[in-house]
Amino acid sequence: MRKYSKLIVIVASYAALTLTALNIALRIPEHMGVIMGCFTAAAAVSLAILAFCLVNFERERARKEKENISRIMQSINAMAILWDADFRYVEVNSCLTNSIGYTSQDLSDIKTLKKVLPADAFAPSLQAVVNNRDEEFYVTAKGGAKVCTIWNTSIVSVSSDRKRTRYLMLSIGLDLSESIRMKEDLIKYSKELAESETRYTLSMELSEIGLLLKAAGRANYYVSEQLRNMLGINSEYVSDGVLRARFHPADVMIFDALGSAMTNCSAQDDETVRSVHCTEFRMLSADNTYRWYQFRYKINPGQTKLLADIGGAILDITKNKEKDSLIEKMAYIDDVTQIYNRNKFMQIGQEIFECSHDTDLNYWIIVLDIDNFHIINDTCGYTNGNKLLNEFGKAVQDALTTGGFGARIGGDNFALLIRDNGDEELPVNIIRSIQDKFKIICADKFSSQGMTCSAGYCKMSDGGEDFAKVLDHAEFSLSMSDGTKNDIIRYDNAVHDKIVRSAAIENELVSAIENHELVLYYQPKIHLGNGTLIGMEALIRWVKPDGTVVPPADFISVAESSLLITKISEFVLHEACRQNKAWQDMGLPPVTVSINLTAVDFYQTDVKESIMKALDATGLDPQWLDVELTESLALKDIDHAIQQMQEIRDLGVKLSMDDFGTGYSSLSYIQVLPITLLKLDRSFIMYLEEDEISREIVSAVIRIAKTKKIETIAEGIETIGQADILKEAGCDHAQGYFYGKPMPKDKFEEFMKMKAREAASVNA
Ligand code: C2E
Ligand code: MG
Ligand code: MG
């Protein structure tokens, strides 16, 4: 610009001189020449002022431009150097000074700058600018550290003077250290990823885990390659419908539940949503069979919170399931009936009991007992007994038309757990259907007409702190049946009161034993032929402090269920032996003392050991002790019973079969049991005088027993008529009110003395 302004001044001066010369040559009038000269001079001055302004304007423009560039470069978040080609002018920004530790003043010194930048740093930059190339080099920071940078240079200003054109350049640089680190990390990560992917794929293949994923709102499930192989599916994405169709009909509900978990995700709390869930189901697989799979999955809420992603690992657990079911079968399935056993019934029952508190659902618990089941065992043998149990199990299963489950919970006891549908008649109807079916089974397959089964039942909500207690209620109701005629007893207030009473009795009984409130009464046993005393039965009584006498029927069964019976039996055994020995020592004629034992004594204690101890301690000769066992007790486990009985017999102690006839036991058993005496039950004796059939049965039993060299005794004789019939039928001994009621020991001692006197007078 300066160049132009000078040119303008020169041109203006020439113009003025030329005009003056022309004036002279052309003889223009003087005053006109002066006017023209003035005009020309004014023009020249104007031109000079214009030229001057132009020069200043150019300078100002360049300064402002540099200022603007400088402001911009200071504000950018990258290293920047503003420089001219010969480095006469250098300005750096704070980002650069901060990065390399020098001040901008340091760097305005070309020496320092040369230390910082490599020798040829910006030398080819002009060319780079032309080629639009980026330069990558290391910058040396204060202290010597090398910083890897990349620079891009642009010409931001061009100015020229007489000598040359000057370019002002702006180089923008980026610190590559971070991105190099990132790049290195990325390479390392990619390598690791590749390795882990290989590991993942390998482990997926080895562990045979498939993946099933579905993103929120997507129509299809993603099925991993492994899962596709497992299920025999070709496509990577399958629809709901295709997947659902592969589910086992019984497990389709699980698939639907997964779907609804995705859509109801927002209704669940975060913890539930985010935790890992696990479910098991069967799916049609590549081998065209239903196999078991375990699905461990997570539900993650999607952005809308209304839909969720679902995904997880699927594992084929068919083999485990097979093992489990075998173990389950061994642990929970009853061998004889192939239905659940007591353990399983208790397990499922407890689970349902716990759930029922959180829902409005209620359940019925039914317990069934085949009345006098041992008749089948006795008359048809064990194999047929098992067949009958098996048939009964089927009848129980068939009765579960409204759902629920059944189990064999003990010998001939079965139980059912049924959902309450609001119909109070439901349990009775089910029990009746089983009773009817059972009748048909017995008639068709066992040619037996008289078989029945009784039942006790209760509602889960009727009380009980756990399922065991609820089952107790049903079993307690059943125990109230007399077990002979298709009884159906519901657990109600009366039953409840009885349970409460039993609990109270149990508590009192503990202190009664400690306070010696239990005493023995004795009832005479008479020789039917000559009327002499041949023995006495020790019968327990509970004499309360106020003098009330509690009969054994009120507390023996309670004692049996609480195992207090073993203490009671020990007392009875010891006291009976002691008293008998004492009477013998008094010189009274020696007679046998009989004691009663229960199934608990017989199966859960070493009876032989207890008897030996009692005999040893009291000094009673074994021949004067007789142990009474009921037939139902003996039949609970016949082999064990025979062994125990034989051990007792080997001691020289006598054995009686009590209450014979009440349990339909066949006489064939008498042959295998080592008993010495058969006690005909009172129920046969009661109607002896008026009932012809009773008489015939009694005569037949006595006759058969005689052939087996087993003595017979009739209990419950109350009249002379009964005594006469029995004597006639060949019965050996008698017991009953007719001869003497059970008496306390003092009274019985008198009775013995009286009998001894009687015998002496007969002999005399
Ligand atoms: P059980 O062993 O059959 O005893 C006979 C029961 O019949 C006794 O009742 C006796 O009093 C009763 N009785 C005897 N003759 C007659 C009669 O002519 N008419 C009538 N109506 N009844 C007669 P008790 O003493 O009440 O005993 C009942 C049952 O309690 C016994 O039946 C026995 O099973 C059990 N029991 C009694 N004492 C003991 C004991 O010390 N230990 C055990 N485990 N059970 C016992
Ligand atoms: Mg008895
Ligand atoms: Mg009896």
Q: Is 715 in the pocket of ligand 1 (CB under 6 A)?
A: yes
The H or E element that residue 567 is part of is helix 565-585
What is the model's pTM? 0.51
Q: Residue written as tokens 């609820």? A: 470
Identify the band that residue 251 occupies on the pLDDT scale cut at 50, 70 and 90.
confident
Q: Looking at residue 308, what is its pLDDT?
A: 65
Contacts 24+ apart (CB under 8 A), 747-752: 748/521, 748/522, 748/524, 748/536, 749/583, 749/588, 751/524, 751/533, 752/533, 752/583, 752/588, 752/589, 752/591
Q: Is 736 in the pocket of ligand 1 (CB under 6 A)?
A: yes
Distance from C-alpha of 295 to C-alpha of 246, rounded to nearest angstrom: 15
pLDDT in tens, 228-240: 999 999 999 999 8
Please compute Rg for the chain using Cα positions: 57
Rounded to whole angstroms, the maximal C-alpha distance in the chain is 214
Distance from C-alpha of 293 to C-alpha of 44, rounded to nearest angstrom: 105
Evaluate whether 310 touches 220 at the Cβ level (below 8 Å).
no
Mutate to test the pocket of ligand 1, among 556, 565, 630 (most ligand atoms within 8 A of CB): 556
Q: Is 621 in the pocket of ligand 1 (CB under 6 A)?
A: no
How many angstroms does the Cα of residue 656 sit away from the middle of ligand 2? 9
Q: Looking at residue 714, what is its pLDDT?
A: 97
* Of the candidate ranges 88-92, 154-158, 267-271, the one whose mean pLDDT is the lowest: 267-271
Rounded to an integer, the average pLDDT of 401-406 is 81
Q: Residue written as tokens 């002499």? A: 532
Distance of CA 370 to CAs 73, 412, 456, 595, 667, Å?
A: 103, 6, 12, 30, 21
Residue bearing the bigger pLDDT, 408 or 56: 408
Distance between start and end Cα atoms, the chain: 177
Please count the other Cβ atoms lying within 10 Å of the Cβ belonging to residue 181: 10
Identify the band that residue 3 occupies on the pLDDT scale cut at 50, 70 and 90.
very low
How many angstroms does the Cα of residue 720 sit away from the middle of ligand 2? 22
How many angstroms does the Cα of residue 636 sit away from the middle of ligand 1? 21
Average pLDDT, the chain: 83
Does the pLDDT value for residue 662 go beyond 90? no
Identify the band that residue 150 occupies on the pLDDT scale cut at 50, 70 and 90.
confident
Q: Is 716 in the pocket of ligand 1 (CB under 6 A)?
A: yes
Rounded to an integer, the average pLDDT of 342-369 is 86
How many angstroms does the Cα of residue 539 sit away from the middle of ligand 1? 6
Q: Which residues contact 183 (CB under 8 A, 6 or more apart)?
A: none
Report which protein residue has its CA nearest ligand 1's atom 17.
Answer: 716
Name the residue among 683, 594, 606, 685 with its Cα closest to residue 640.
606
Q: Looking at residue 2, what is its pLDDT?
A: 46
Is domain 78-175 in CATH 3.30.450.20, yes or no? yes
Report which protein residue has its CA nearest ligand 1's atom 45.
Answer: 596
Report which protein residue has its CA nearest ligand 1's atom 21.
Answer: 716
Distance from C-alpha of 371 to C-alpha of 387, rounded to nearest angstrom: 16
* Of the candidate ranges 363-372, 406-415, 441-450, the one whose mean pLDDT is the lowest: 441-450
Number of the ligand 1 atom closest to the C-alpha atom of 520: 41
The H or E element that residue 366 is part of is strand 363-370
Strand pairing class (308-316; 165-175): unpaired
Q: Is 718 in the pocket of ligand 1 (CB under 6 A)?
A: yes
Distance from C-alpha of 566 to C-alpha of 632, rounded to nearest angstrom: 19
How many angstroms does the Cα of residue 722 sit away from the middle of ligand 1? 19
Report which protein residue has its CA nearest ligand 1's atom 43.
Answer: 596
How many angstroms does the Cα of residue 489 sit away from the middle of ligand 2? 28
Q: Is 596 in the pocket of ligand 1 (CB under 6 A)?
A: yes
CATH code of the domain occupying 333-491: 3.30.70.270
Does the pLDDT value for residue 414 go beyond 80? yes
Evaluate whether 683 touches 659 at the Cβ level (below 8 Å).
no
Distance from C-alpha of 692 to C-alpha of 684, rounded to nearest angstrom: 11
What burial letters (b/e) apply to 526-560, b meaning 16+ CB within 10 Å? bebeeebbbbbbbbbbbbeeeeeebebeebbebbb
CATH code of the domain occupying 209-325: 3.30.450.20
Rounded to an integer, the average pLDDT of 391-403 is 88
Report which protein residue has its CA nearest ligand 1's atom 35.
Answer: 552
Name the residue among 217, 222, 311 with its Cα closest to residue 263.
217
Distance from C-alpha of 732 to C-alpha of 48, rounded to nearest angstrom: 169
Residue 429: strand, helix, or coil? helix
The H or E element that residue 192 is part of is helix 177-207
Residue 516: strand, helix, or coil? coil
Name the residue among 107, 190, 108, 93 with its Cα closest to residue 141.
107
Identify the band that residue 763 occupies on the pLDDT scale cut at 50, 70 and 90.
confident
Number of the ligand 1 atom closest to the C-alpha atom of 553: 30
Residue bearing the bigger pLDDT, 452 or 9: 452
CATH code of the domain occupying 504-754: 3.20.20.450
Alpha-carbon dihedral angle through residues 85, 90, 93, 97, given to the nearest 10 degrees: 110
Q: Looking at residue 518, what is its pLDDT?
A: 96
Distance of CA 582 to CAs 9, 588, 593, 618, Å?
A: 166, 9, 12, 9
pLDDT in tens, 43-100: 666 666 766 666 676 677 777 777 888 888 788 778 888 877 776 777 888 888 888 8
Q: Is 572 in the pocket of ligand 1 (CB under 6 A)?
A: yes
How many angstroms does the Cα of residue 672 sit away from the middle of ligand 3? 21
Q: Looking at residue 394, what is its pLDDT?
A: 94
Q: Is 232 in the pocket of ligand 1 (CB under 6 A)?
A: no
Name the residue among 271, 277, 280 with its Cα closest to residue 311.
277
* Of the candidate ranges 46-50, 418-422, 425-429, the one whose mean pLDDT is the lowest: 46-50
Ligand closest to CA 713: 3
Report which protein residue has its CA nearest ligand 1's atom 7.
Answer: 716
Residue 416: strand, helix, or coil? strand
Distance from C-alpha of 367 to C-alpha of 178, rounded to nearest angstrom: 79
Q: Is 661 in the pocket of ligand 1 (CB under 6 A)?
A: no
* Of the candidate ranges 389-398, 590-599, 619-628, 639-648, the one whose mean pLDDT is the lowest: 639-648
Report which protein residue has its CA nearest ligand 1's atom 20.
Answer: 716
Report which protein residue has its CA nearest ligand 1's atom 10.
Answer: 742
Q: Which residues contact 753 (CB under 8 A, 6 or more apart)?
A: 588
Q: Is 658 in the pocket of ligand 1 (CB under 6 A)?
A: yes
Q: Is 540 in the pocket of ligand 1 (CB under 6 A)?
A: yes
Q: Is 737 in the pocket of ligand 1 (CB under 6 A)?
A: yes
Residue 139 identity: V
Number of the ligand 1 atom closest to the C-alpha atom of 565: 44
Mutate to test the pocket of ligand 1, among 715, 722, 735, 739 (most ligand atoms within 8 A of CB): 715
Where residue 627 falls (left for φ over 0; alpha for ψ -120 to 50; beta otherwise) is beta
Where residue 730 falls (left for φ over 0; alpha for ψ -120 to 50; beta otherwise) is left
Rounded to an integer, the average pLDDT of 100-104 is 86
Q: Residue 90 corresponds to which tokens in the numbers above?
A: 């250098």
pLDDT in tens, 469-504: 999 999 989 987 765 678 899 998 888 888 788 888
Report which protein residue has its CA nearest ligand 1's atom 19.
Answer: 716
How many angstroms does the Cα of residue 551 sit away from the middle of ligand 1? 9
* Of the candidate ranges 1-10, 22-31, 215-224, 302-311, the one whose mean pLDDT is the lowest: 1-10
Q: Is 553 in the pocket of ligand 1 (CB under 6 A)?
A: yes
pLDDT in tens, 686-699: 989 998 888 988 99
Q: Looking at residue 34, what is its pLDDT?
A: 62
Q: Is 626 in the pocket of ligand 1 (CB under 6 A)?
A: no
Identify the band that residue 162 occupies on the pLDDT scale cut at 50, 70 and 90.
low
Q: Residue 316 corresponds to which tokens in the numbers above?
A: 């084929």
Distance from C-alpha of 55 to C-alpha of 268, rounded to nearest angstrom: 80
Ligand closest to CA 518: 1
Q: Looking at residue 368, what is its pLDDT?
A: 96
Q: Residue written as tokens 């101890």? A: 613
